[in-house]
Structure 1
Amino acid sequence: MDAIIREWHADEGWGVIDSPDTPGGCWAHFSAAAAPAVFRPGQRVHLEWESPGQDGYPFRAIRFWPAGSPPRDRPPAAPGTAYSSSLSLSFDPPGGE
């Protein structure tokens, strides 16, 4: 669906996209962008959305990308490459010895 970016907060990674099928606005997060692009107000985009609502907006973007270009989703992470961490704690014996 064709849509237009109403506002985009690059420093926070989110914005609002308007289309005839999303009255009131569609909340969009940069993680739903299907292309490495810099988004700006007034820019035409293609939009795929759902309607659970997000942050006061009735719709949420599933995918969006600049109009006139194909979507390019991020490749899935290879198995075993997810972030992991560990923490070890040790305590002094009672009585400060």
Structure 2
Amino acid sequence: MAVIGTVREWNEDEGWGVLDSPQTPGGCWAHFSHAAVAGYAAFTAGQAVLLEWEEPGQDGWPYRAVRFWPHGEQPVDRYADTAGGTGGAYHSTLTLTFDEPDPDRRS
């Protein structure tokens, strides 16, 4: 069940922040990959959010967000059908191919 929280701080360059709520005293670590928003996840200090969390925490924080999104909005499944391109989150692939070794070339 989601609780109402507030963004204490958000590190946009690193994609993580700390959320506060009465149910998560001491702070709740949050990573952009758990933000239930479409596209780029950006938050600002003081912003109200809805938060689902777990223990143990992360990086010295007693709690960790498993899903969070702006208060007043509906959560979005960022990873729904990412293979089909409808999830809203960035998706890419990488394919590596190697040439056959040249028998005439010395290493």
User: What SS does the corresponding residue of 2:33 show, helix, strand or coil?
Assistant: helix
Matches within 5 A, 1:1-97: 1-36=3-38, 37-74=41-78, 75-78=80-83, 83-86=93-96, 88=98, 96=106
Cα distance in 2 for partners of 1:89, 1:17 equals 50
Partner SS state of residue 35, structure 1: coil
The 10-residue stretch of structure 1 (35-44 or 18-27) with the greater mean CA deviation from structure 2: 35-44
TM-score (norm. length: structure 1): 0.81
Partner secondary structure for residue 20 of structure 1: coil
Indicate the structure (1 or 2) with the bigger Cα radius of gyration.
Answer: 1
Q: Distance in 2 between matches of 1:13 and 1:39?
A: 9
Q: Which consecutive unaligned segments of at least 5 residues does structure 1 have?
A: none
User: Equivalent pairs: percent with the same residue?
Assistant: 55
The one-letter amino acid of 2:96's match is S
Deviation at 1:53, TM superposition (A): 1.4
**CA drift at 1:38:** 2.7
Secondary structure, in 3 states, of the residue corresponding to 1:78?
helix
The number of equivalent residue pairs is 96
Q: List gaps (5 residues or longer) in structure 2.
A: 85-90
Distance 2:33 2:92 in 1: 17
